[in-house]
Amino acid sequence: MTRELSYREWIARSLARALLADARQPGGTAPSALRARAAATLGADSPWLKPLAEALGNRSQATWQRTDLPALAKAIHDMPELDAAFEQNERPRVRRIILRPAQMLPRPMGLDHFALPDIPTLADLAQWLELDADRLAWLASPAQAFRASDAPGSRPASHYRYQLQPKRLGGLRLLEIPKADLKRAQRRILDELLRHVPVHEAAHGFVPGRSVASHAAAHAGKEVVIGFDLRDFFPAVRASRVHATWRTLGYPEGVARALTALCTHRTDAAIIERLRDDGGLDWMGAKRLAAPHLPQGSPCSPALANLCAFRLDLRLEGLAWVFGATYTRYADDLVFSGPASLRAQFGALRAWVDGIAADEGFELHPRKLRCMPRHRQQRVTGVVVNDKANAPREDFDRLRAVLHRCATRGPAAQNRAKLDDFRGHLLGRIAWIGQFNAARKARLMRLFERIDWTSAAQTPS
């Protein structure tokens, strides 16, 4: 019984290849054309081909354009018209394999006019990435999906290096940083492909024209602000979801698999054990890292994470509308704000957000839930939003004190790294505060301009 089912699948797949070969040509999906290609594959025009071709010919042109080989093969396999082929004395046989030329698939409505590169084959992908075929095969090798402990005696080449950084609330943060060749390919994928694909309007992180400031400004002056955090945001985005994104953008199966391999990573077992020994990684976190996922440290990961979270944003925005609230997301930071009645509905909102996040493959962090009424300080990604988006007063006072000491005593007293790095650090903090309050920026810049960097450079550390 199992062998018969396998043979039926083989016939269905061979027929699907033939029927798709000219499906985009004028008249290519007419019943007569479908029957002719099926007969050419089987080497004979059997009577049972007529009803099968007529049933498939009734499909709309839009359906044919969006149908790939696995979907059509399954549809043919399940058709009752195919039963007649196995009721004859002689089973159907495949005499010729008819293949269609590799081509891009139609994109969903709304994405069809974006200038995404056409990459129908792996050879085209290698040329687009300016790599030779062997180099691409090495970077996107299926062996990268296995850790050393999973395949004894064969350790695949590692295209990543690891950094562990302390988290603010304890534990270690893992950065998985691609090496030069892979990083160059990922940067091209980001700059010339992913940047052309729009994300949901609620997403403000890693989106040109949006920022922490725009994320916080959406919740300024609201009676109640409620915040949630997603746990292990990048590792929670699995390779299967990344692959589905590439397919949605129209890339054929082979190219989609290669792009997925280039943009995802499976963490080395030794690194996972190190994180578990530190106590900051639970069993579910280890499981996420052990599976192919978006690595935190790759240029592509933020953009791909936003695209993979599109349905999450869509559902949470709809939920916010039901509660009369506003919703935005900055990476893993989910924020809702609205009228005073939202505070009494916090429990219900939390349950809904938790359920939707879980349904979309994410998990809320239990220690990072915040319900902030207006009589308390309301913060969104470190920005105070009670009246308008503004940097916290204590951040301004602390930076002003540092600048004052540098201006009166010299920056060497504050500098523990290179002088240029410290100077850039101060300018960055001034710019951060200045994007919310021009008057504060002017006061800080006056102090900064009083610092004598020339004499400090001549002072031995």
Q: What is the pLDDT of residues 327-375, one digit of tens each?
A: 999 999 999 999 999 999 999 999 999 999 999 999 999 989 999 999 9
pLDDT band at 134 (very low <50, low <70, confident <90, very high): very high
pLDDT of the residue at 77: 94
How remote is the C-alpha of 98 from its chain's centroid? 36
From residue 220, alpha-carbon distances to 7, 313, 429, 457 in Å are: 63, 20, 22, 43
Q: Summarize the confidence of residues 424-442 as an average pLDDT.
A: 93
Res. 31: pLDDT tops 90: yes
Determine which helix (DSSP H) or strand (DSSP E) holds 177, and give its type and residue range. Answer: strand 172-178
Q: Among residues 421, 414, 409, 384, which one has the least CA distance to residue 399?
A: 414
Q: Summarize the confidence of residues 267-279 as an average pLDDT.
A: 88
Distant-in-sequence, close-in-space partners of 105: CB < 8 Å, separation ≥ 6? 65, 66, 68, 247, 250, 251, 252
Task: List helix spans (H) across 129-278.
Answer: 133-139, 180-192, 212-217, 239-248, 253-263, 269-278
CA 335 – CA 302 distance, rounded (Å)? 18
Q: Are 34 and 57 in contact (CB under 8 A)?
A: yes
Q: Where are the domains of the chain?
A: 7-87, 121-143+160-196+238-293, 201-232+300-389, 393-456
- Rg of the chain in Å (alpha carbons): 29
Res. 166: pLDDT tops 70: yes
Strands 370-373 and 224-229: antiparallel
Please state, as a whole number, how many other Cβ atoms lie within 10 Å of the Cβ of residue 258. 22
pLDDT band at 412 (very low <50, low <70, confident <90, very high): low
CA 19 – CA 72 distance, rounded (Å)? 9
- Position of tokens 């979907």? 71
Res. 461: pLDDT tops 50: no
Angle of helix 438-449 versus helix 393-409 axis, rounded to 10: 20
Res. 148: pLDDT tops 70: no
Residue 314 tokens, joined: 């869509």
pLDDT of the residue at 101: 76
Residue 94 tokens, joined: 């495949």
Share of the chain above pLDDT 90, in %: 72
User: What's the predicted TM-score (pTM) here?
Assistant: 0.81
Res. 142: pLDDT tops 80: no
pLDDT of the residue at 232: 93
Q: Among residues 12, 87, 19, 10, which one has the least CA distance to residue 56?
A: 19
Res. 5: pLDDT tops 90: no
Please tell me which residue, 173 or 78, carries the higher pLDDT value. 78
pLDDT of the residue at 158: 83
Please tell me which residue, 252 or 154, carries the higher pLDDT value. 252
Residue 3 tokens, joined: 């062998």
pLDDT of the residue at 198: 92
Q: Are 330 and 200 in contact (CB under 8 A)?
A: no
Phi, psi of 394 (to 5 degrees): -65, -30
Pick the CATH number of 201-232+300-389 from 3.50.50.60, 3.40.605.10, 3.30.70.270, 3.40.50.11540: 3.30.70.270
Res. 131: pLDDT tops 50: yes
Helix (H, G, I), strand (E, B) or coil at 336: strand
Determine which helix (DSSP H) or strand (DSSP E) holds 373, and give its type and residue range. Answer: strand 370-373
- Position of tokens 């301004």? 396
Give the max Cα distance, the chain. Answer: 100
Res. 459: pLDDT tops 60: no
Q: Summarize the confidence of residues 70-90 as an average pLDDT.
A: 91
Segment 370-397, tens digit of pLDDT: 999 999 999 999 999 999 999 999 999 9
Please state, as a whole number, how many other Cβ atoms lie within 10 Å of the Cβ of residue 290. 17
Please compute, for residue 386, the number of CA atoms within 13 A of its CA located in the half-sphere on the CB side: 11
Residue 180 tokens, joined: 């030069």
Please tell me which residue, 204 or 281, carries the higher pLDDT value. 204
pLDDT of the residue at 458: 54
Which amino acid is residue 423, in one-letter code? R
Q: Among residues 432, 436, 428, 431, which one has the least CA distance to residue 390?
A: 436
CA 113 – CA 328 distance, rounded (Å)? 26
Please tell me which residue, 416 or 171, carries the higher pLDDT value. 171
Mean pLDDT, the chain, integer = 89
- Position of tokens 């009670």? 386
